Structure 1
Amino acid sequence: MRLALFTDTYEPEVNGVARTLGRWVDYLRRKGVPVQVFAPDPALGLPHGAAASVERFASLPFFLYPECRLALVNPVHIRRALHAFSPTLIHVATPFNLGLCGIHYARKYEIPLIASYHTHFDRYLPFYNLQWMVKMLWRYMNWFHYDCSRIFVPSASTKSDLLQRGWEEERLSIWPRGMDTKRFHPAVDRKGHLESHGIDSSNFIVLYVGRLAPEKNVDVALAAFAKFQRTACPEARLVVAGDGPSAISLKEQAEQHDIPVHFLGFTAGEELQKWYAASDIFLFPSPTETFGNVVLEAMACGTPVVTANRGGVTDTVEHGLTGFLCEQGDADAFCDALTELYENPLMRYRMASLALAYSRKQSWDDIFDRLLAECQLAACEGRSRIRHTK
């Protein structure tokens, strides 16, 4: 098998899709499977080197999801690179410019085609007053995935959503996310870490990690925390790790309502692991996740999770055992969950232990072994799966 991967987000971009695809490519190389990646240039300031197996293109950020970039493609360049590489399988990971190129070349040269579905873009639209585009978006998504022999989705809930949209079950396979327990673990010098950031180690720390954007419901996190801090735990502090278009308005909200929030900005690597492990609760109210990598990361660091009862996080968090699932958008419900965990340290400890045990069972290699087997089968099925006429 020779795999050509077309994606509009890739390392060194730091988001769940880019990191997952980077791991997938690394795994294939370790297995001796030739891979050619077609990806946009990353955002300014992110060095990416000049890997021979990654074709890069100038790009602009996509307004709904800046982590995905709209590549300014050169069809002649792509055609030459594909002919030189001679793929036996094309994998399209995002439905934008480069994904369209992958679809086009699979149809034109009758190369077997697979896709991975990572993001519920339809759920983003109402947050930007674009709900009128939902039907149009789904018509496009149906067309985009029509010729894919397999469509890999990150969770059972995502698969269920797509089945309700009329997608064929025999083409949908679950590609869950794994956990690198060497990178994310509970070990931390909590006192030293917090005090190095000007936070007293006696404070009760609630952590949010993720993009600061309307679809993540970070304003709900602030409202829930404010009530929790006011009514249950005056010594609580909220730490927000991330950046995005809502950063300024969230800081203004915190200042206006005198909410004790420590905004870190973009945080990654060892520093992020320390924040997970040093925090008492991880608060993540986003209702738009197809998986929610940050939830599994927090669990791997032994931090109890309070999250929304919608999307892929519901396949990771078992309510009352490995975390709490709250009604989306209900700040009072999130506040009640924070309060219950704060007032019951034994429950917090038990929940953290069960979450940690669950995360340690999520092996990337086991997940990729199953994915590779399905890809090899798709490649062997040959050209007959391409159903569109030229």
Structure 2
Amino acid sequence: MALGASLVLGGWSLALLKICDLTQFYSPFSGGVKRYLHEKAAYIDKYAPHDEHVLIVPGAKTEVNSNGRARVYSIRSPLVSRTSRYRALLNLRAVEEIIERDRPDIIESSDPYQIGWKAIAIGRVLKVPVVGFYHSHFPEAHLRNAARLFGRAGGRRIMKLGRDYVRRLYNGMEATFVASDSLAKVLRSWGVRNVHAVGLGVNIDIFNATPNDSAVTRKALGVAPGQKLLLYVGRLAPEKNTLTLFRSFELLARRRPGEFDLLVIGDGPHRAQLRTLQRNFKAISWIRYCAEPAELARLYRAADLFVHPGVQETFGLAALESEACGTPVVGIRGSYMDKVIVHSQEDWAPANTAEALAAAIEKWSAKQLVALGRDAAGRVQERYAWPQVFAQLFCIYRQVCAKYRRS
């Protein structure tokens, strides 16, 4: 289909789209961004029969995999983490060659580093609009702790440099997508223009509250009758605040021995601390990675309570999936994912401390979790199904393309 082609349906002209996604946040063990990209390709396959999807990611070797109107290009890239298997996509010339050959109608960068800048440069040369998805609030997640090492004045300077960087990068794009209204306000206050709060979604065909298979799963995990099973899904890393989770469980295990089990799904630099916790307390299970979404949904359903310790999440996809499966969420107040918590956040931790999180878990474990979870699952199905999310996003894509062609 030619660039800028259109399809006439019932007298209406619908611009056809070839969308190119670029990201480094992609590995065999990666989570939210990879899920978003794969669900987008699935949406095109099922609901947008005349659109195409191109995905460019780092990989162990250079190859292309085609599936109908979707293509995934992997570019050989060096590992930057042996636990998460993330890679640095440094061969920018290969990225450029793919885009020149495929000639997409719009380019979306999910990367705030060299890939984002390269996308802007390619877009200008080929006269293709570039948009960005702000998946990682990296000035807060990664710079804040480093800034503390330089004192108050030095820390303020580092954080200002981070905000300036974000503003320069994303103002070079036609639009910036972000998954929460509150984070959109933050970016606008930093001077980022044309910000769209679009949200993310969940595959409700997989992540739902049926069947009621929790008893079998809990038995397989060794959870005794009457115990509360706590669940965490995500990277074991500083930006996920997992050490606070581990310390809170230690407090619970000492204070109320035998009442709680913890299932951790994920890997990362805090793996050693988790293993130490396992040696000290037997009521902890660890699954390094769950590759199959249906299996992950089964584990969500088995838990009594999903614990989300993160305070810098841009969306909180795992929390949304948990609610979709009928398992309520407890966490720390004030994160950017508040919108996707569809039940009350009363008694969430008021401070980012292990003591506060442990107290919140205790309070929530005494609530009517089955009823809360059932209500939450219904709300997620109504509000966050992927087709609804992508229908909105694809409208914005077309608006961006139309405005770009007129300019």
Q: TM-score range by the shorter chain?
A: 0.7 to 0.9
The equivalent residue for 1:91 is: 108
The equivalent residue for 1:333 is: 356
Matched residues in 1 for 2:274 and 2:226: separation?
25
Q: Secondary structure at the match of 1:205?
A: strand
Asked if the contact 2:229–2:305 (Cα under 8 Å) also holds between the matched residues in 1, the reply is yes
Matched residues in 1 for 2:84 and 2:266: separation?
14
Q: CA deviation at 1:289?
A: 0.5
The structure with higher relative contact order (CA 8 Å, sep 6+) is 1
Q: Secondary structure at the match of 2:78?
A: strand
The equivalent residue for 1:216 is: 240
Q: CA deviation at 1:12?
A: 5.0
2:381 maps to a residue whose letter is R
1:329 maps to a residue whose letter is N
1:37 aligns to 2:59 (yes or no):
no
1:236 maps to a residue whose letter is F
**Residue by residue, what CA displacement relative to the aligned partner does 1:288-344 show, whole Å, maximum 9, x if unpaired?**
10001010111011112101213232111256x267532342222222222223334
The equivalent residue for 1:381 is: 403
Structure 1 residues 334 and 93, CA gap change in structure 2 (3 angstroms): same
Structure 1 residues 226 and 82, CA gap change in structure 2 (3 angstroms): closer
The equivalent residue for 2:198 is: 175
Matched residues in 1 for 2:168 and 2:370: separation?
48
1:25 aligns to 2:41 (yes or no):
yes
Matched residues in 2 for 1:160 and 1:318: separation?
21
Equivalent in 366, 370, 390 of residue 343 of structure 1:
366
Matched residues in 2 for 1:15 and 1:83: separation?
29
Matched residues in 2 for 1:275 and 1:124: separation?
28
1:315 aligns to 2:333 (yes or no):
no
**Residue by residue, what CA displacement relative to the aligned partner does 1:15-48 show, whole Å, maximum 9, x if unpaired?**
1011102212332344121232222116x9xx99
Question: Could you tell me the percent identity over the aligned residues?
Answer: 24
**Residue by residue, what CA displacement relative to the aligned partner does 1:120-172 show, whole Å, maximum 9, x if unpaired?**
1112225763555533333322221122221110111211221222223xx11
Matched residues in 2 for 1:213 and 1:29: separation?
34
Q: Secondary structure at the match of 1:129?
A: helix
- Which shifted more, 363-372 or 262-271? 262-271
Matched residues in 2 for 1:341 and 1:78: separation?
48
Matched residues in 2 for 1:328 and 1:60: separation?
39
Matched residues in 2 for 1:126 and 1:255: separation?
32
Q: Secondary structure at the match of 1:262?
A: strand
Equivalent in 113, 120, 138 of residue 121 of structure 1:
138
State the TM-score, normalizing by the size of structure 2: 0.83
Q: CA deviation at 1:270?
A: 2.7
Q: CA deviation at 1:68?
A: 5.3
Matches within 5 A, 1:140-155: 140-155=165-180
Equivalent in 121, 135, 157 of residue 182 of structure 2:
157
Equivalent in 297, 309, 314 of residue 290 of structure 1:
314
Q: CA deviation at 1:208?
A: 1.2
- Which shifted more, 223-232 or 150-159? 223-232
Structure 1 residues 323 and 212, CA gap change in structure 2 (3 angstroms): farther
- Which shifted more, 136-145 or 370-379? 136-145
**Residue by residue, what CA displacement relative to the aligned partner does 1:235-286 show, whole Å, maximum 9, x if unpaired?**
3211111111101123214535x46322222224233222211111111111
Asked if the contact 1:8–1:40 (Cα under 8 Å) also holds between the matched residues in 2, the reply is yes
Matched residues in 2 for 1:68 and 1:143: separation?
26
Structure 1 residues 218 and 74, CA gap change in structure 2 (3 angstroms): closer
Asked if the contact 1:211–1:244 (Cα under 8 Å) also holds between the matched residues in 2, the reply is yes
Q: Which runs of 5+ in 1 are unaligned?
A: 386-390
The equivalent residue for 1:50 is: 65
Matched residues in 2 for 1:29 and 1:250: separation?
40
Q: Secondary structure at the match of 1:325?
A: coil
The equivalent residue for 2:10 is: none
Matches within 5 A, 1:59-98: 59-62=77-80, 69-75=87-93, 77-98=94-115
State the TM-score, normalizing by the size of structure 1: 0.86
Q: State the Cα RMSD in Å.
A: 2.8
